[in-house]
Amino acid sequence: MGSNPTLSASRCPIPNDRQHPPPPSAFVSRYAPRVTEAAALPCPHWAETMDAPPDPKNVCERCIEIGSQWVHLRQCLVCGKTLCCDDSPNRHTTAHCLREGHPIMRSAEPGESWAWCYPDELPFVPGPDGWEVA
């Protein structure tokens, strides 16, 4: 079976100016700013986060289940769960993110605005165009 010259890479039937339309404008949310091009992400793991996670809860979901206490709260930006920080006895956020493979979490504390990438060990803060490395 021969190749069709009209569909080869060098003779694409679509004119060059229409092969790659410009990407849609970037969507930015206050929780997990998103962009459409991977190169513009602060790290590649941001591609796994929710566009608009739910508001964080004011309790650690897992500590409530087991009758434990927490120090501070964090929110997984992949699934939206609110869990306790590493200063808490059970460290539920880190355990959840490592067990589930969810790489990015953010602070769920009032007045705090930062996030953390576990695989890259990078902190992030909001910048003028979305999250940026702190």
Q: Residues, the chain, total?
A: 134
User: For the chain, what is the domain count?
Assistant: 1
CATH number at residue 57: 3.30.40.10
CA distances from 106 to 23, 36, 38, 47, 73 (A): 28, 21, 20, 15, 9
Residue 27, domain member (yes or no): no
Residue 92, domain member (yes or no): yes
What is the pLDDT tens value at each position of the chain, 134 positions in all? 443 333 333 333 333 333 333 333 332 333 444 444 544 789 999 999 998 999 999 999 999 999 999 999 999 999 999 999 999 999 999 999 999 999 999 999 999 999 999 999 999 999 998 899 99
Residue 100, domain member (yes or no): yes
Residue 72, domain member (yes or no): yes
Say what the pLDDT of residue 24 is. Answer: 32
Residue 124, domain member (yes or no): yes
Residue 128, domain member (yes or no): yes
Domain span at residue 83? Answer: 53-134
Say what the pLDDT of residue 129 is. Answer: 86
> Integer distance in angstroms from the first to the last C-alpha of the chain?
56
Left if phi > 0, otherwise alpha if psi is -120 to 50, otherwise beta: which for 54? beta
Residue 129, domain member (yes or no): yes
Say what the pLDDT of residue 4 is. Answer: 36
Catalogue the long-range contacts made by 34-41 (C-beta closer than 8 Å, 24 or more residues apart). Answer: 34/130, 35/130
- pTM of whole model > 0.85? no
Residue 45, domain member (yes or no): no
